[in-house]
Chain A
Amino acid sequence: MPTLEEVIKKEGYSVIGHPVPKQDAWVKVTGEAKFADDLYFPGMLYGKLLRSPHPHAKILHIDTSRAEKLAGVRQVITAKDFPGVKYGNFAHTRDYLPLAADRVRYIGEEVAAVAAVDLDTAEEALDLIEVEYEVLPAVFDSEEAMQPDAPQLYDHVANNVAAESHFEFGDVEKGFAESDHVREDTFETQPMKHAMLEPHACVGLWEVTGDVTLWSCKSSPYVVWRHLAMGLDIDPGKIRVVQTYIGGSFSGGKQEAMPMDFCAVMLSKKAGRTVKIVHNMDEVLTIGHMRHPMKLWLKTGVKKDGTLIAQHCKIVANGGAHSSIGQLSIFLPGLGLNLPYRVPNVKFDAYRTYTNNGFAGALRSHTQPQICFARESQLEMIAEELELDPVDIRLKNVRQGGEVTPSGFRLETFGITEGIEKVVSASGWREKYKKLPRGRGIGMAASGMISGARLMSHSASSAEIRVREDGTVTLMTGSTDAGQGADTVLSMIAAEVLGVRTEDVLYAMVDSNVTPLDPGTFSSRVTLWTGNAVKRAAEDARKPLEEVASKKLQVDSKDLVFRDRRVFVRNQPGKGLDLAQVVRMVQNRLGHPVVGRGSYSSGDDPIAVRGGHGNVSPAYSASAVVVEVEVDLETGLVTLVGVWAASDCGFPLNPMLVAGQAMGAFTMSMGQALYENLIRIDGKVMNASFRDYKIPLILDLPKVENVKLFDVITQDSNGPFGAKEAGQGPGDGVIGAIANAVCNATGARIKSLPISPDRVLFALQKGSA
């Protein structure tokens, strides 16, 4: 495997592969970056939403008259102000309304909205709205919800099954029959929130002309654009979604239109002013969008030597009151079973239920951490029973580049073996495993991840580039930077092709009136999909420059090099022109604007969410992680003392940002493994505050010298400059690795998350939990 430096030298990269700071870091450290709540307009009103106090109830009557009479209140709206058209992601699972019409299905569901001259007045007005409810029986547990006599959330859905997914590749029954050893386990995962620090926020404007503008921190603005058009029942051409800086997204509410977005524009329509709505943190933590809590049953058959033969997984996921992206959520964990191990027979049966809870959707690495936790925990138990080393059983079964999985994934590259070997050697695994004192333990996990799913009807990305007369470049895509570094990596791709520096590229934020249409920022798709589009756009923009430069320098355009803001003859850097000079020749003299367009779709047909066979993504990343933990045997508290993580992101276009993503993904999964849990009693969230919903702090991470990250370089030809995803895969195995380390330290096998002190103590007493 080549090193980073070897690749940079061999390929002659001047920009790619170099660690440069994030483009927008400068405007963020000064506090000048405008997030959605930082926008103020003259005469702007402040909006607030009235929420249901009941988990399940009929709305009999809403009286807004007292609220309307309060001084300073400008408008009050209810479902009657909207056209009553449902919106959502998939046609057959659309179940959202901008405001609840005749029924509420969870505590926190939006019922009415107010716009007032200030926030205090808006909040006071909420108390004056009178809603008459008829409380209905509610159901909170997934399995109870599927019983025939359970309260039904939707009239058109039987047994509260919001979505299901079933497929089989190979023949699992035959596989189990051929296995020497079969093991079954059940695992449970908890509701986890995105807990991005920036609450959802938006400003809406509905002009008298009928033009509607939403300024918001949306990571997938075109999804919002479509949702708004659906729920408002107006032509999408009348809607403009303008992205602000995004203070963390991790999918969820910044991925879709939310009731607040509809209400901001509708209140604006009626009040004739801009209206800002910002969620309080207790609203953020109470309302929908969270990681699906799951019950996972996993049955695995192996040969005596540890060779995996068959795996059958059943999942029941608690989807809450709405579908969100749930049809996809219940499909993806099954696909995840095909990576990273070579299992010839795989079967998957999963149900996502409606319950009277806040609803679940996508969260960083959409459902993969749950399935990896189950699989990596069970694999370790199997290794123990077969008296195999956890490293050896993984190395025996992992896939290699060039393989095709039973589900049809084509892995051009898959650097998992190298990743495992790196973390095993760096962590001193062989010296530590089963050799550490009681209370101290080491654990590992491996995982694979897609680089953008080809599942939606719209999966292609496009980019537009303009080279200005001073040689600087403006780059427009429909992809957003939510902090992950898209602004920088996409700029670097353009810079490398056009021979300019990263800082010469101005990366535009999304404005649906101007920037190219794009599916959005999710599914680890941006670097590969949008990156390929940017590369093509830059190559397109370079063409007229090549034409003129080759005439001027009297060489074939193939012998031109674009580098360091110059165009010169290969191997003769002295013989050349300034890039800006060439741009002026093309643009100002010949009259051709130097623009480029590029787009990328993987070329394969999209995969149906039902059935699921096919190459779901152009490329697949691989990750391996080892963690060392200290378990306090008296209190049950788990402390991380060391992390060794390796990821095959193809080629790190910017190693500094790749490291940031790897640690970010690790830290988020660590939060789910050890601390985070949205506690709900009869649908009421009991810990809707950062006081009680605990996310990792700086003190929870090991010291800097005890965290080691490695890049495995495989240069996948499907990605721009060989790159695959880097932002989600590194977190997938972390929960399993921590669970394995805790077991290694104490003998206690924890199968329910989080691995909190009470669970650890209980498990220590019982021997397992």
Chain B
Amino acid sequence: MKNRVAVSLKVNGELFELFIPPWQLLLDCLRDDLGLTGAKRCCIEGQCGACTVLIDGMPVNACLYLAIEAQGKEILTIEGFGKNGELHPIQRAFVERGAVQCGFCTPGLVVATKALLDSTPKPSEDDVRIALSGHLCRCGCYGQITDAVLEAAQVMTQKAP
């Protein structure tokens, strides 16, 4: 167990005490140590966006971020969306607008959409395209993804007082 350091990470509101190699990627830590496999292992170089999580509200490629760097920060993964058997409005919009095919890119897109809508509650189509330009979808659902984000924005702003 040499080369390991003690860290505490706050993920989806829960605190985890871990003993990990200091070079471990946040992505591997989430998946291998915490069993949170919603963030996907894909390009491991920040090109595809499939491993996106929020750190203090900012979308981050978990494959380019060391787990030890995330100490003292709020980490939100796809597993933190939707509560008590209810989907988050962004998740619901992705389902209903046909924005999911193989679904490998989906968790990253849902997470990144939350970051967009938190900062820009009423985005234009261009805002959506720019915010999601770091995400690959090989199934080619980009039009449906755009529709879903715009619909989620509408639902969420209507709900807000």
**Which residues in A have some Cβ–Cβ distance to B below 8 Å?**
19, 21-22, 24-26, 28-35, 37-38, 40, 194-199, 245-250, 278, 280-281, 482-485, 656-657, 659-660, 663-668, 689-691, 695-699, 701, 703-704, 707
Contacts and interface: CB of A to CB of B under 8 A. Distances in A.
B155 to A, nearest CB: 14
Contacts of A485: 101
Nearest to B131: A698
Interface stretch (B66-74, B91-99, B114-122): B91-99
B103 A667 contact: no
Nearest to B36: A31
27 contacts: A22-B95, A22-B101, A25-B94, A28-B103, A29-B100, A29-B110, A30-B38, A31-B37, A31-B38, A31-B77, A33-B103, A35-B37, A38-B31, A196-B102, A198-B102, A199-B41, A248-B102, A280-B44, A281-B44, A482-B102, A483-B139, A660-B98, A665-B140, A668-B138, A696-B140, A698-B146, A704-B146
A25 B40 contact: no
Contacts of A691: 45, 47
A490 to B, nearest CB: 16
A590 B47 CA distance: 60
Nearest to B88: A29
A663 B144 contact: yes
A704 B149 CA distance: 12
Most B-side CB within 10 Å, residue of A33, A37, A249:
A33
A29 B41 contact: no
B47 A30 contact: no
Interface string B80-111: 01100001000110111010111111110010
Most A-side CB within 10 Å, residue of B35, B98, B102, B105:
B102
Contact of A663 (B92, B104, B140): B140
B140 A698 contact: no
B128 to A, nearest CB: 8
Classify the secondary structure of A's interface with B: loop
Contacts of B81: 30-31
Nearest to A24: B103
Contacts of A246: 102
B100 A667 contact: no
A265 B37 CA distance: 23
B141 interface: yes
A707 B138 CA distance: 18
A699 B130 contact: yes
Contacts of B35: 40
A668 B142 CA distance: 12
Given A30-B91, A699-B129, A703-B125, A248 B100 contact: no
Nearest to B37: A38
A252 to B, nearest CB: 12
Contacts of B142: 663, 667, 696-698, 701
B37 A660 contact: no
A31 B107 contact: yes
Given A197-B104, A698-B133, A30 B98 contact: no
B12 to A, nearest CB: 11
B143 A247 contact: no
Contacts of A707: 143
Contacts of A31: 36-39, 77-79, 81, 106-107
Contacts of A28: 100, 103, 106-107
Contacts of A280: 44
A29 B103 CA distance: 7
A663 B98 CA distance: 12
A696 B142 CA distance: 10
Contacts of B105: 197
Contact of A660 (B39, B101, B129): B101
A584 to B, nearest CB: 28
Contacts of B141: 660, 663-664
A249 B104 CA distance: 11
Interface in B48-79: 48, 50, 77-79
B43 interface: yes
B42 interface: yes
A664 B139 contact: yes
Nearest to B106: A28
Contacts of B47: 689-691
A656 B98 contact: yes
Contacts of B135: 697-698
Contacts of A198: 40, 42, 102, 104
Contacts of B91: 29-30
B99 to A, nearest CB: 8
Contacts of B44: 280-281
A666 B87 contact: no
A704 B147 contact: yes
Contacts of B29: none
Contacts of B103: 24-25, 28-29, 33, 245, 247, 483
Most B-side CB within 10 Å, residue of A21, A250, A666, A689:
A21
A246 to B, nearest CB: 6
For the complex of A and B, the 8 pairs showing the least CB-CB separation, nearest first, are A31-B38, A483-B102, A667-B140, A28-B103, A247-B104, A31-B78, A483-B101, A690-B47
Given A248-B102, A248-B104, A659-B98, A668 B147 contact: no
A38 B27 CA distance: 12
B11 interface: no
Contacts of B82: 30
A703 B127 CA distance: 12
B143 A704 contact: yes
Nearest to B41: A37
A178 to B, nearest CB: 43
A610 to B, nearest CB: 35
A195 B42 CA distance: 11
Nearest to B98: A656
A698 B141 CA distance: 9
